[in-house]
Amino acid sequence: MDPNDGSILAMASAPTFDPNRFRDFPPAAWRNRNVQDLYEPGSTFKVVTAAAGLEEGLVTPSQMIDCGNGSITIQNITISEHDGHQYGMLSFEDVIVNSSNVGTVRVGLALGEQRFYDWIRRFGFGEKAGLPLPGESSGLLRKTDRWTPVSPASISIGQEIGVTPLQIVRAVAAVATGGMLVEPRIVQKVVDDEGKSVYEPPKGEPRRVMSEKTAAVLNEILKNVVSRGTGEQAALAEHVVAGKTGTAQKAGRGGYMPGHYVGSFAGYVPADKPKLVMLVVIDEPRGQHYGGTVAAPVFREVAEATLRYMGVAPSIPSRTIGVGAPLLAAISQPQPPVGPATAVPDLRGLDARAAIAIAVASGLKVRAIGSGVVTSQEPQAGGALPGDRQLTIRLATAEVRG
């Protein structure tokens, strides 16, 4: 999907079928899995949990979270880390970069049932995205009166919820767009034989689901997922990728089925000026089953070829500072100093995403007013860092003259 206007550029389902001989194929192959099939998303859903936690002020990127040395128990149910990891204290940024289940669960529990449910609905889950395609599912999201005490924990890591691939793409695109949820579309317009437009479907208005600040911070975290975390195999040579891996054990009668998994990777590229949002879902992969191993390489190959086909010029500059370093320690920006600053950086003229990322990398707490580019800041550039490390930036849409 093009996150800028919601255009669906491609959908694919495999195994496929020949529509001219559809009866020669099993009915399961007739389905458009992108809009019809439900699956538990696993850790790709941590993007939603992270956005909610950051926006509600429950966590900051540098906040240390106790990951319980590998497990957490709720109502006699134990949730463990993937692949036997035993994390102790991790920053929230590294909770997402390393895809810690325990650290994410703590955020889900802190959100609470109703507040978490409202955030999930805000991202478009539990409703159809509205594409004019047959059989689109609204997903499976139970109301809170049917949740158990374990539900906030399970849903925070992408269990106990059924989603379509399109819903995940739409949610991840909200980070790519700076916090706006766009309406997907497959028809731009219909023209007659003379090229005259005879029909243009109405465009849905994007709606803000999180602040530009939250989207900017989350964008930096998701870039680090690819540069130094579980999504390393999605990295491209000419573009910075942001994304999240997912590995979900499949549910069956009586519980989850050992040895049956769904591996996925959801991401967007170029990370700072996205042109493409994409999700790869592999149902019951053979051998390796982690999303970072089976789905991320597919994302890399398809994204690389698609960007070349679209004519998107390389976006990685010749001089890059600190790619892959922790958000609070370094950031890929050539202008301000890297690392905790001794003076207030000059953010004027930068867009919200770049300004917030630089400020956070300097160890500042950011209050953003308005949208667009930074027109003023308090304290002013070059001054001493305030004791509370609070920085207020005012943004406005740049005036176009011609």
Question: Could you give the residue numbers annotated as active site?
Answer: 43
- Torsion angles phi and psi, residue 297, rounded to 5: -65, -35
Angle at the Cα of 382 from the Cα atoms of 337 and 367, rounded to 5 degrees? 85
Confirm if 260 and 250 have CB atoms less than 8 A apart: yes
DSSP track, 154-190: HHHTT-S-BB-HHHHHHHHHHHHTTSEEPPPBS---E
Residue 196's contacts (CB-CB under 8 Å, 6 or more residues apart) are: none
Partners of 244 in the β-ladder:
266
Tokens describing residue 66 = 């106790």
Strand pairing class (89-91; 242-252): unpaired
Strand pairing class (390-396; 365-370): parallel
CA separation for the pair 296, 284 (Å, rounded) = 15
CA separation for the pair 84, 81 (Å, rounded) = 6
